[in-house]
Chains A and B, each alone.
Chain A
Amino acid sequence: MTHTHLSDRYHNGVSIVHRLEPRVKVIITVLFIASNTLVPDGAWTAFALSLGLVTFVCMLARLGAFFALKRSFVALPFVLVAVSVLFATPGLPVAGWQVGSYALVVTDAGVTRFLSILARSWLSVQMAIVLTAVTNIPDLLHALRHLYVPPLLVGVIGLMLRYLDVLTDEALRLMRARDARSAGSGGSILWRAQVAGYMVGQLFLRSYERSERVHQAMLARGFDGRFLTINPHQMGERDWWALAGTVAVLALVQTVGHALRM
């Protein structure tokens, strides 16, 4: 069993986008997602413009134009929740099946609504992927701290990220050991659930004891609750331009989306 390590999420590189102030990157991402949410149903030109923006940022960041596109299918399962709007939106019928004694009728308005929800979610995930790819973890924590996230929570997230790979590896080792003893497939469902629960309990105790050791080690090194980054991070001229440019493009997206729906 393989799994992605955290370090695989960040793509080290030198580009205008990598060098932006981390706060600006987070704000741009959130603005972009909010803009997607505000684009009305069926405004395909506006959605296409937004896709253009993500692709442009990918190219600026030297990730390759289709970097985010290729990784953007993680939100797919939730789409099932929206499938019902295909049938539930009033409009002209475009397709239908007879299932037992009901007619399942897909309407044109339903298709438009479904595809719009899909587009919003899919575009938003792409920008979030770009944010992760161009911002390393110390920078991300810096951004959180300067966006007024409580210092305690930033510290918790920082420590969580530092030990995430250690504990996921530990969980994978536990699962490999279980598979080797075939406890993963034998027995009743109840018994398998209990084995999984004992594994969670064991992982809990290992983590708890690790946290006690980590705390002592941190005290020994004079930890004062802050994680430092070697980049100074001040809002420069470039950051303001990036922010202004994004706002301008998103304003265009909104104008196009609300003015010409096609």
Chain B
Amino acid sequence: MSAITSYIPGASWSLFGAELHIPDGFLNLPISIVCWIGAIALIARAAQQAQCTLDERQMPLMGIMAAFIFAAQMINFPVAGGTSGHLLGGVLAAVTLGPWAGILVMTAVIAVQALLFQDGGLLVMGANILNMGLITTLIGYGLYRSVINRRQATRLAVISVAAWLSVMGAALATSLQLWLSGTVPLDIVIPAMMSVHALIGIGEALITVAAVSFILRTRPEILDASAQRGGADRGWIIGGAIASLIVVVLSPLASADPDGLERVAEDIGFISLGQSAPYEIIPDYTVPFLGETPLSTIVAGIIGALVVAVVVILVAQALRSRRMGVRG
């Protein structure tokens, strides 16, 4: 049976079924095009910079590292109830290869997943590259670079925080793109995505730190070499700090007070893009007995995420047992 596959497309059936690879059809044309323009500029700059800062071994190194990230995303660890956590890899790539090579490697991974495995769309690939390539690298490398001369324990601690934040940052960007495309109301997508990815980020942090500490023990010179490849490092540190701050400040604000974010959007003037619709389930997405407090919205978000998680676990288990049945 050739059609039977257990290549689990990207993060699809991973921890609580959360997913950052946006498929085609979920973003509208203007948002897709804007993201593609950003991604093209990023790729051009990264290719130019990687050529400057890497020696002539670059192409085989980056090609095989892209295959490595793809393969490493398959290595999962069981969490509970048939779900498993696994790696996204953006921070690991940035820390081990340097930022520009890391961006190119993640771009190659996203392109291959979309072109050959239909994991993530083609028209929305620009958005996926920005979310999983740029944001993860910016936060991961920026924070790591700021403590590069500190003790190893400090560096590992910062890497774990960066790995968690990078997943949150990618989830935040994904939520915003979905909202601006009018696919999902902001007050539902932000609490749901952020609470699910707060858990996924923990898995990302644990795996990334364990992997980096393993590399540090066996071939520490690889990390020293990557640290030389940053180019304008001050820019990375500042960029990483700003991106981290945005995630830290905006995600609780956004999940607790989505209207606040909408007000910001209105002030900036892109509210007309977001066709966020009124809704009828839970007025203002709050839990009644808690009243209209930020806590209430967060609790509502977590409840929503749990409902989704249960559905995904059930479907994942059903698919898994069917797959095993066919194979056996």
Question: Could you list which residues of chain A lie within 8 angstroms of chain B, going by C-beta atoms?
Answer: 1-4, 6, 8-9, 29-30, 33-34, 36-38, 70-71, 74-78, 80-85, 87-90, 101-105, 107, 117-125, 128-129, 131-132, 140, 149-150, 152-153, 155-164, 166-168, 170-172, 174-175, 184-185, 189-190, 192-205, 207-208, 210-212, 214-215, 218, 225
Q: Is the CB–CB distance between A193 and B63 below 8 Å? A: no
> In whole Å, how far is B7's beta carbon from the nearest beta carbon of chain A?
5
- Contacting residues, chain A, for B47 (C-beta < 8 A): 150, 152-153
The A interface, classified by DSSP as helix, strand, loop or mixed, is: helix
- For the complex, give the distance between the alpha carbons of A160 and B111 in Å: 11
Question: Could you list which residues of chain B lie within 8 angstroms of chain A, going by C-beta atoms?
Answer: 2-7, 9, 12-13, 17, 19, 21-29, 32, 43-44, 47, 50-51, 57-68, 70-72, 74-80, 85-87, 92, 96, 104-105, 107-109, 111-112, 114-119, 121-123, 178, 183-185, 188-189, 192-193, 203, 206-215, 218-219, 222, 277-282, 288, 308, 311-312, 327
> In whole Å, how far is A176's beta carbon from the nearest beta carbon of chain B?
12
Q: Is the CB–CB distance between A204 and B28 below 8 Å? A: no
- Contacting residues, chain B, for A105 (C-beta < 8 A): 280-281
What are 25 inter-chain pairs, A to B, with CB distance below 8 A?
Answer: A1-B6, A33-B122, A36-B25, A37-B28, A37-B32, A75-B25, A76-B12, A77-B12, A78-B22, A87-B279, A88-B277, A90-B279, A156-B104, A157-B66, A158-B63, A159-B59, A168-B74, A184-B77, A185-B78, A193-B207, A195-B210, A200-B87, A201-B211, A207-B64, A214-B60
Q: Is the CB–CB distance between A34 and B123 below 8 Å? A: yes
Q: Is the CB–CB distance between A193 and B77 below 8 Å? A: yes
Q: Number of A-B pairs whose CB atoms are under 8 Å?
A: 321
Q: Is the CB–CB distance between B79 and A189 below 8 Å? A: yes
Q: Is the CB–CB distance between A203 and B75 below 8 Å? A: yes
Q: Is the CB–CB distance between B210 and A198 below 8 Å? A: yes
- For the complex, give the distance between the alpha carbons of A150 and B41 in Å: 11
- For the complex, give the distance between the alpha carbons of A89 and B206 in Å: 39
- Contacting residues, chain A, for B277 (C-beta < 8 A): 85, 88-90
- Contacting residues, chain A, for B280 (C-beta < 8 A): 87-88, 90, 103, 105, 107
- Contacting residues, chain B, for A167 (C-beta < 8 A): 64, 67-68, 70-71
Q: Is the CB–CB distance between A84 and B184 below 8 Å? A: yes
Q: Is the CB–CB distance between A9 and B116 below 8 Å? A: yes
Q: Is the CB–CB distance between B5 and A2 below 8 Å? A: yes
Q: Is the CB–CB distance between A155 and B59 below 8 Å? A: yes
